[in-house]
Amino acid sequence: MTSDRNVELLTELPPIGPAIAKAAVSSRGRGGAKAGLPDRTVMVSDVSFDINDLADYAHLIGLTLTNDVPGTYLHVQTFALQVHLMAARDFPFAMAGMVHVANQMTVLRPVGVAEKVTLSSSATNMAPHRSGLTVDLVGEARVGDELVWRGTSTYLVKGASMPHEGAAETGSPEAEAASGADVALQQWAQWRTTTDLGRRYATVAGDVNPIHMSGLAAKAFGFPTAIAHGMWTHAKVMAALQGRIPATHTVSVNFRKPILLGSTVAFHAGMTDDRVALSVTNRSGDRVHLTGEVVPLAGSIS
């Protein structure tokens, strides 16, 4: 944590549902890019893991429950802080208009299920994007003072414009993390999504965003059916790679077209010594849902 930021210390992870509701009713009249991002880090310390909850999450995804907390589960924990930050009045954009377009996380060392962590989240790095602008929500997990996990969730704010005209459009995050294109991908698996997957994932991950929960709500946001949580797809990819990648790694994914619940998707991967390239597409491969790569921090892909 940089010392020049204010810290909002919470006593426990805030519930996500009420925060989403609060954000929805207070979506109008937000300041926009000019207002700037809140100069706050939301933090909660001494967070312990409920093994039963973790098991429910792991088993829904298809992860083997181990002594290490899955990296994607640390995202699930810090997501509550993200939502808390984005729902607050001083956040300049309406949460309902923000689309999770990319995610990157680094496991610096595995977190044990019996360990207590300090979790934090802050908003940073407003950057221009061809469809608006992007904002990064950066989460961190520490054990004592040791940084053990860091996650960056990139959100697209559609139609928003940067406060300073003429700011150079930095390469969109989508382009950055798609660098695994030279690795040949093979289809590893196909996954059938059920129409209740969004609701089931919400019970283990807390993200009750209506576009995942019901077809009717999703239609209101322009989707033909409810769509899969991007972080479900991400976690499912990590489950497919469990046992094959070193415990310490950086994984970057870009969320492309949403997965309509009820559809069957294909997971593709290509392994080289120094990374695994990934994609999730529809069965014919012409509709891309997710691309990404895993890079070990040390050692090589086995």
Partner 1 sequence: MTSPASASESAPHSDARNLPRTAVIVGGNRIPFGKAGGKYASASNQDMLTAAIDGLVARFGLAGRSVGAVAAGAVLKHSRDFSLTRESVLGSALSPSTPAYDLQLACGTGLEAAVQIAGKIALGQIDNGIAGGVDSASDAPIAVSEGLRKALLKANHAKTTPAKLRALASIRPVDLAPQSPRNTEPRTGLSMGEHQAITTKKWDISREAQDELAAASHHNLAAAWDNGFFDDLVTPFLGLARDQGLRPDTSVEKLAKLSPVFGKGEGATMTAGNSTPLSDGASVVFLAEQEWAQANNYPALAKVVDSEMAAVDYVSGDEGLLMAPAYAVPRMLARQGLTLADFDYYEIHEAFAGTVLSTLAAWESEDFARDRLGLDAPVGSIDRSKLNVNGSSLAVGHPFAATGGRIVASLAKQLHAAGPGTRGLISVCAAGGQGVVAILEAV
Among 29, 144, 222, 243, binds partner 1 (CB under 8 A): 243
Examine residue 114 and tell whether it contacts partner 1 (CB under 8 A): yes
67 is an interface residue for partner 1 by CB under 8 A: yes
Pick from 24, 46, 59, 175 the residue near partner 1 by CB under 8 A. Answer: 59
Residue whose token pair is 């088993």: 59
Q: Is 113 a binder of partner 1 (CB under 8 A)?
A: yes
- Count of H-run helices and E-run strands, the chain: 8, 13
Lookup: tokens for 229:
């949580």
Q: How far is the CB of 53 from partner 1 (least distance, A)?
A: 9
CA distance 176 to 165: 23
Which range touches partner 1 (CB under 8 A), out of 37-45, 76-84, 236-244, 274-282? Answer: 236-244
Minimum CB–partner distance for residue 106 and partner 1 (Å)? 20
Separation CA 147–CA 3 (nearest Å): 15
# residues near partner 1 by CB under 8 A: 17
Question: 244 to 283, contacts with partner 1 by CB under 8 A?
Answer: 244
Q: What is the dihedral of CA 211, 212, 215, 219, to 10 degrees?
A: 20
Nearest to 74 by CA among 129, 37, 113, 128: 113
Is 186 a residue that touches partner 1 (CB under 8 A)? no
- Contacts of residue 271, Cβ cutoff 8 Å, sequence gap at least 6: 183, 244, 301
In whole angstroms, the minimum distance from the beta carbon of 62 to partner 1 comes to 9
Amino acid, res. 152: T
Q: Residue from 7, 39, 64, 224 that binds partner 1 (CB under 8 A)?
A: 64
Piece of 97-105, 177-185, 204-212, 238-246 that binds partner 1 (CB under 8 A): 238-246
- Rounded Cα distance, 114 and 201, in Å: 23
Q: Which two tokens stand for residue 75?
A: 């995202």
Q: Mask: binding to partner 1, 17-56, rule CB under 8 A, as x and -?
A: ----------------------------------xx-xxx
**Is 242 a binder of partner 1 (CB under 8 A)?**
yes
Q: How far apart are the first and last CA of the chain?
A: 34
Structure token pair of residue 278: 């990934």
- Could you list the residues that contact partner 1 (CB under 8 A)? 51-52, 54-56, 58-59, 64-67, 113-114, 242-244, 302
